Amino acid sequence: MCGIVGFTGTQQAAPILLNGLSKLEYRGYDSAGIAVRNGEYLAQVVKAKGRLSNLIEKTDEGKALIGTCGIGHTRWATHGEPSENNAHPHISDDGNVVAVHNGIIENYQELKDNPKYQEWIDSMATLAFPGGESPQQFKDRCIAGFDKMVDTCIRRHYRNVAMVVHGGTIMSILEQYGVPQRSYYDWRVENGCGYHLYLSEQNWKMGRREAVVESEIRR
């Protein structure tokens, strides 16, 4: 169990990240770290063993790191001792990628030399995941499920229906049927949010399958 926070905006990120971590310290107090990026420069990463107060002191309450984009992490050690080396964020050898995560990557050693897995990584996830489905297969599955649900609702004369699904499902369905037309990522919604849709039963039966977006559901 760890605490993770991120920020991007116009204000200095480090003080905001530290403030966010202070609300999440109960999720991990073995070590803490933040990474802040300033424009085109590589991210600055600062980590400290122990309580968050050590990181706050080490960064002069965030004033030592300049940049308006960053991530932070408080760690509850499960594998590997509490230390600065094991603390997050972790950074790639070239400094271009900085990451935090919650949980344990159990099969990294098994996967890192797997050519099929590496091919999937290099494709930026456009190929099918080894043993899984491609992005297009995922979209097709979502659309088929939506078609089946609408047909069932029409047959049973349901007028108002709520769907509780993941964001990728929403984006897949609305990329296919949404009015106005938008691309997949343009239909992205925040957690707990969604859309009110209107579907014409007559048009659907005639093959004119459209989902008119009437409003957005916000928290």
Judge contact between 35 and 44, C-beta under 8 A.
yes
Burial 50-64 (b: 16+ CB within 10 A, else e): eebeebbebbeebee
| Model pTM score | 0.56
Residue 44 has a pLDDT of 95
* Mean pLDDT of the 133-142 span: 93
Residue predicted with more confidence, 177 or 219: 177
* Mean pLDDT of the 59-81 span: 92
Q: What is the rounded distance in angstroms from the CA atom of residue 199 to the CA atom of residue 216?
A: 15
Give 7's DSSP letter.
E
pLDDT exceeds cutoff 70 at 5: yes
Judge contact between 68 and 11, C-beta under 8 A.
yes
| Cα 88 versus chain centre, distance | 17
The domain locations on the chain are 3-109, 135-217
Question: For domain 3-109, which CATH number applies: 1.10.3720.10, 3.40.190.10, 3.60.20.10, 2.30.30.110?
Answer: 3.60.20.10
Task: Answer positive or negative: Cα dihedral of 104, 107, 111, 113.
Answer: positive
Residue 1 has a pLDDT of 66
Residue predicted with more confidence, 120 or 85: 85
